[in-house]
Structure 1
């Protein structure tokens, strides 16, 4: 049974985070612009526009992580001749393995 990663193999959580933040940010900005949100004589439309823009800015972090996590062909520390005994390397490797969900391919 071979393990096969296709489609969006790496950093799926970062992709979901980025898309959700974009959707919430755009929805918040649209509500702030087009909805009449006046309570007790105060207008809260600006608050929604600014918070929506902030959510879209946060989503950029998710997009950067997703994009950089899907770069193929970079040399690993082991290939460069370094040791992989570093605690940070082990933590990053274990976290990456937990996030990445491999698909199994059935034999014909």
Structure 2
């Protein structure tokens, strides 16, 4: 049976964040470059350019989250667990127990 393509159904919030930050960033960037924004003799164009660049960079985090949330075909933890997975889990838990338990051998710390 063929798998139905869901489109952007996964991570809609990350997609909305990325698109919103892109739109706000580009608008701010273009306003800062092309609009004459002087208030009481001060130019605010540079502030808008820097803000726009920052918003576009923030949108990159949203795009990465959206893209990584939509990756299909990754194996789950249950599928990865086999004979080797159980041994690795036991080794990791015994090592973490040894690190967590304080030593009381009487020597000053």
- Would you say how many aligned residue pairs link Structure 1 and Structure 2? 80
Q: Tell which deviates more after alignment, 51-60 or 6-15.
A: 6-15
CA–CA distance in structure 2, aligned partners of residues 80 and 37 of structure 1 = 58
Does 1:71 pair with 2:74?
no
SS in structure 2 at match of 1:78: helix
Structure-2 residue corresponding to 1:80: 80
Greater strand percent: which structure?
1
What is the TM-score of this pair, normalised by structure 1?
0.70
Structure-1 residue corresponding to 2:10: 10
Structure-2 residue corresponding to 1:55: 55
Greater helix percent: which structure?
2
Q: Tell which deviates more after alignment, 48-57 or 6-15.
A: 6-15
Shift of 1:63: 0.2
RCO comparison, higher one (Cα < 8 Å, 6+): 1
Structure number with larger C-alpha Rg: 2
SS in structure 2 at match of 1:9: coil
Structure-1 residue corresponding to 2:91: none
Shift of 1:8: 1.2
CA RMSD of aligned residues (A): 1.6
Q: Which runs of 5+ in 2 are unaligned?
A: 87-109
Shift of 1:9: 2.1
